[in-house]
Chains A and B, each alone.
Chain A
């Protein structure tokens, strides 16, 4: 009897393998395009020879831009740690009334884009704002020389806004790290005579260090990628330089070179983050009995609520209250049909991107499940790389090849004897959807990968031994079990697409706005009052993953 060996690759497997390899290459195209454009003269070598923008920037202000970026990153880290570390310890270590609510309230600021807070605080704390006006009236001060007041339009102000929006990353990771510490470690330290203070500094903090490092890296990456806040405060950083190089000076080569420079910083952060994750695995002391919470005294509870309440108010309550007040004061502008139109187009765009992203995540992960080869694992990892690329950098990386593709396709169509079709790739929603898919593939990949990890391989073996084909195993076993993960991946990507600003600003088609770009345009024109309802809509949508997260942790 001769039966074809089941180890030989089937045609379907070959087609799938080739398709995922091509998709992976498309997802890596922006990085490749940036490197080509910034090194060998790029796709348009004649223009780039004449283009001296980058050299001019390098000779004059680039050093200052890099310095500003690093200042913003380090100051944001300072504020984020300041807002996150103590509350994370209090919520993990103490038992007090309302703790369960407080630990979720502390994450809410994640839903507010930093540029919205930045606008609101500038409006409130600026010279002409209600606070300084009231102080002047109260103390009869006549001019700024008569008193000192914190200047919100500074790098400290921008960092404070970013710190308020980003500290929940550190808070969440640290709180989990503190909570999952094994009680036996603490008891062992107590038996060996350590005081509570000593246990904190010698057990809790060292063991939570990798989690703190991961949180800090995420905050650093987000603050490095920020465009909205720094632009609003007129602080020139690497992201604003990329934006200006392309939109103000029209130099794609210069934008590509600054993007590559930014990528170098990002790669350093990614390496740091990966190392911290590796360390976290060694430091993980879960498995034992989790730490027992200590009942907090009354004065301590008051103190915790006072500090955490202040952070929560600054990060969430005040911005939301101000937006509601803007919305009511300017109701006519906030209830017009334009917001509805932009909402519809944003949601449509986000739905398409989320659908494609989840589909690709299922494709890459199921391939790795059925054929767990290093080759397939590499494709899966490469397809997730986009999360680290700042939106502005990614947008430039997409504009370069799509712009070239537009030129080639128009030439080809003209050669066929038809009229030019215009920018069908770089000038339509296609570019934006591609950017969203590359940027957020890591989120859906992570969700589906986690679902597959929780699914024992024995289920696949059982299905095979019960004569099911791979397709039947996938449709009847994998998909139904993964349904919750697929839904949450879809929702998370959808929300990120709705919130995304830097890439949307650069890639949106002519006369097209997403909710984020619409709100940002008004904020940068100092007229956020007219787009407050759209800003509230973004915040409302952004609260969904936080509620999902709280639900999933409750289930755990």
Chain B
């Protein structure tokens, strides 16, 4: 299918500026701002209730914001200045979490639904192109309930792509698909979007989907963007505690108990410790060894996690008070000869990442 190559590479696909959305009496989005370059895939990542889906629906025109500005490919579709282009005029494709396929229509009718301005023959041709794009050419006469979850998702993609949008929004598109099928679907869909230079924003709460599918990741907390960067950078260098917690980036130690921890970990530590932040220690850079002395560090349990072993370690912060302790994780590809309760010593192989609270 010949979707138009985007000749607006220099223009941002999406620009959101200070968007505020209130539903009832609750503020859902607060000064939400971000840009998406044309042809890029952005993942909006965050815990349930942080406003991801609201952001997506507001961008699509399904929810009217209280204030702010939305530009799509340089065209203002919403602003405080009484501009509010309706959802059907924004030409944005949308894939819903439950796919929202019309249950009483055949697959062909579903895909052709948004193509009413075309002649019958053109519409039919476009339906066939869209179906071949998702490799379901023989399914035109079937009904949605006759398809598997993965096939339904592909039909939802075909229906969203058929009107040839330059921007496509996806609300947790992979949440209903499991394992191998999900990985293949993500790879196929990413190839499809990239080959047609379609910009995409998708929403998820599963960070592994961001790594597999997105060029950029924006972590949302409480209605605004906490950090926007490449997925690896967001994971490895979280900007603040909320992002580090959500991304499960590693072990955290505040300066409050940092000194006690650092005394126990064998490493050349920087001198300029600050009072207002946290150290982030990557589990894979933390080496555990059995110690003959009582170090105040004990093994809690060992878990096999597929790529190696994960150790939960209890670090006692106060020699006289066992309840004052923190739990860290360490990872290793190979098993250590350790049993639960063993006294341990720790070695950290890299400089920890410093982040602000």
Enumerate A453-487 residues with CB–CB distance to B below 8 Å: 456, 458-459, 461-469, 472, 476-477, 480-481
Q: Are the CB atoms of A461 and B82 closer together than 8 Å?
A: no
Beta-carbon nearest neighbor of A459 in chain B: B100
Who on chain B is nearest to A6 by CB?
A: B86
CB distance from B211 to the nearest CB of A (A): 27
Chain A residues with CB under 8 Å of B84's CB are 3-7
Residue of B nearest to A466 (CB): B114
The yes or no answer to A14 lying at the interface (CB within 8 A) is no
* Bitwise interface map of B from 24 to 66 toward A, beta carbon under 8 Å scored 1, else 0: 0000000000000000000000000000000001001110100
Q: How far is the CB of B177 from chain A (nearest CB, A)?
A: 17
Interface size on B, residues (CB 8 A): 31
User: Which residue, of B82, B92, B113, B163, has the highest number of chain A Cβ atoms within 10 A?
Assistant: B113
A residues near B60, Cβ cutoff 8 Å:
461, 465
A1 interface residue per 8 A CB criterion: yes
- Is residue B98 contacting chain A, with contact meaning CB distance below 8 A? yes
Closest B residue to A465 by beta carbon equals B94
Decide if A462 touches B96 in the complex (CB within 8 Å). yes
User: Given A461-B57, A476-B113 in contact, is the A456-B100 Cβ separation under 8 Å?
Assistant: yes
Instruction: Provide the bound-state CA to CA distance between A462 and B76, in Å.
Output: 22
In the complex, the answer to whether A6 meets B64 with C-beta atoms within 8 Å is: yes
Name the distance in Å between B217's Cβ and chain A's nearest Cβ.
Answer: 25
**How many Å lie between the Cα of A461 and that of B84 in the bound state?**
17
**A472, B88: Cα distance in complex, Å:** 12
Q: Give per-residue flags for A245-262: 1 if the beta carbon is below 8 A from chain B beta carbons, else 0.
A: 000000000000000000
> Do residues A7 and B76 form an inter-chain contact, with CB atoms below 8 A?
no
User: What is the CA–CA distance of A477 and B103 in the complex, to the nearest angstrom?
Assistant: 9
Q: Which residues of B contact A477 (CB under 8 A)?
A: 102
The proximity string for B residues 101-140 relative to A, scoring 1 for CB distances below 8 Å and 0 otherwise, is: 0111000000001101100000000000000000000000
**B75 CB within 8 Å of chain A:** yes
B103 contacts A1, C-beta separation under 8 Å: no
A140 at the A/B interface (Cβ < 8 Å)? Answer: no
Is B104 a contact partner of A480 (Cβ separation < 8 A)? yes
Q: Is B5 on the interface with A (CB-CB < 8 A)?
A: no
Q: Is B242 an interface residue (CB 8 A)?
A: no
Whether B83 is near chain A, meaning CB under 8 Å from some CB there, is yes
Whether the pair A462, B163 counts as a contact (CB closer than 8 A) is no
What separation, in Å, do the CA atoms of A2 and B92 have in the docked complex?
19
A480 to B94, CA, bound (A): 23
Which residue in A464, A466, A481 is a CB contact (below 8 Å) of B163? Answer: A466
Q: Is B87 an interface residue (CB 8 A)?
A: yes
Which B residues touch A459, using CB under 8 A? 100, 102
B159 at the interface (CB under 8 A from A): yes
B352 interface residue, CB < 8 Å from A?
no
- Bound together, the chains give a CA A467 to CA B118 distance in angstroms of 13
Highest count of chain B CB atoms <10 Å: which of A7, A459, A469: A459
Residue B85 at the chain A interface, CB threshold 8 Å: yes
Q: Cβ of A3: which chain B residues have Cβ within 8 Å of it?
A: 83-86, 89
B100 close to A461 (CB less than 8 A): yes
- Tell me the number of A-to-B contacts counted with CB atoms below 8 Å: 79
In the assembled complex, the Cα of A481 lies from the Cα of B103 at a distance in Å of: 8
* B93: Cβ under 8 A from any A Cβ: yes
Q: Taking CB as reference atom, which chain A residue is nearest B90?
A: A465
What residues of chain B lie closer than 8 Å to A481, measured between beta carbons? 102-104
Size class of A's contact patch?
20 to 34
- Which of A1, A465, A466, A468 lies at the interface centre, i.e. has the most chain B CB atoms within 10 A of its CB? A465
Taking A2-B82, A6-B84 as contacts, is the C-beta distance between A463 and B113 under 8 angstroms?
yes
CB pair A467–B83 under 8 Å, yes or no, is no
What residues on A are CB-neighbors of B61 within 8 Å?
6, 465
* Docked complex Cα distance between A555 and B141 (Å): 25
- B103 CB, min distance to chain A CBs, angstroms: 7
CB–CB B100/A462 < 8 A: yes
Contacts of A458 in B (CB 8 A): 96-98, 100
Select from chain B the residue with minimum beta-carbon distance to A476.
B113
Please, how many angstroms separate the alpha-carbon atoms of A476 and B103 in the complex?
A: 11
Residues of chain A within 8 A of B86, CB atoms compared? 3, 6
Least CB distance from A124 to B in Å reads 52
Minimum Cβ distance to chain B for residue A464 (Å): 5
CB distance from A488 to the nearest CB of B (A): 17
Judge whether B88 and A1 touch: CB under 8 Å.
Answer: no
A residues less than 8 Å from B163 (CB atoms): 466-467
Q: Which residue of B lies closest to A5 (CB)?
A: B84
Q: How far is the CA of A477 from the CA of B100 in the complex (A)?
A: 11
Could you say which residues of chain A place their CB within 8 Å of the CB of B114? Answer: 465-468
- Chain B residue at smallest Cβ distance from A483: B104
CA distance A5 to B79 in the complex (A): 10
The chain A residue sitting closest to B92, CB to CB, is A465
B65 to chain A, nearest CB (A): 11
Q: Which of A6, A7, A472, A480 has the most CB of B within 10 A?
A: A6
C-alpha spacing A464/B85, complex, angstroms: 13
Chain B residues lying within 8 Å of A6, measured Cβ to Cβ, are 61, 64, 84, 86-87
Question: Which A243-286 residues sit within 8 Å CB-CB of chain B?
Answer: none
Encode contact with B along A364-391: 1 for CB under 8 Å, 0 otherwise.
0000000000000000000000000000
Give 1 or 0 for each of B333-357: 1 = CB within 8 Å of chain A CB.
Answer: 0000000000000000000000000
Does the CB pair A2–B83 fall under 8 Å? yes
Q: Name the distance in Å between A282's Cβ and chain B's nearest Cβ.
A: 23
A462 with B94: in contact, given A3-B84, A477-B102 (CB under 8 Å)? yes
Contact of A461 among B76, B85, B96 (CB under 8 A): B96
Are B88 and A7 neighbours in the complex by a CB distance under 8 Å?
no
Given A7-B84, A466-B163, does the pair A1, B75 have CB atoms closer than 8 Å? yes
Choose among A2, A461, A472 the residue with the greatest number of B CB atoms under 10 Å from its CB.
A461
A555 to B132, CA, bound (A): 36
Are A466's CB and B159's CB within 8 A?
A: yes
Give the chain A neighbours of B57 by CB distance below 8 A. 461
Least CB distance, B197 to chain A, in whole angstroms:
21
A469 to B117, CA, bound (A): 13
Q: In the docked arrangement, what's the CA distance between A135 and B23, Å?
A: 76
| Least Cβ–Cβ distance between B304 and chain A, in angstroms | 33
Chain A residues with Cβ below 8 Å from B94 are 461-462, 465
Contact with B along A177-212 (1 / 0, CB 8 A): 000000000000000000000000000000000000
Q: Which interface residue of A5, A468, A472 has the most chain B CB atoms within 10 A?
A: A5
CB within 8 Å of A: which B129-178 residues: 159, 163
Residues of B within 8 Å of A456, CB to CB, are 98, 100
Partner of B87, one of A4, A465, A476, A480: A465
A465 touching B102, Cβ below 8 Å? no
Q: For residue A4, which residues in chain B have a CB less than 8 angstroms away from its CB?
A: 84
Q: Which of B60, B84, B163 has the most CB of A within 10 A?
A: B84
Instruction: Give B contacts to A, CB under 8 Å.
Output: 57, 60-62, 64, 75-76, 82-89, 92-94, 96-98, 100, 102-104, 113-114, 116-117, 159, 163
8 cross-chain CB contacts under 8 A: A6-B87, A461-B60, A462-B102, A464-B62, A467-B88, A468-B88, A468-B116, A477-B102
Give 8 new A-B contacts, CB below 8 A, not counting A6-B84, A465-B114, A468-B114: A1-B76, A2-B83, A5-B82, A5-B84, A458-B98, A467-B88, A467-B89, A467-B116
What 4 A-B pairs are tightest by C-beta distance, nearest first? A466-B114, A458-B100, A462-B100, A467-B88
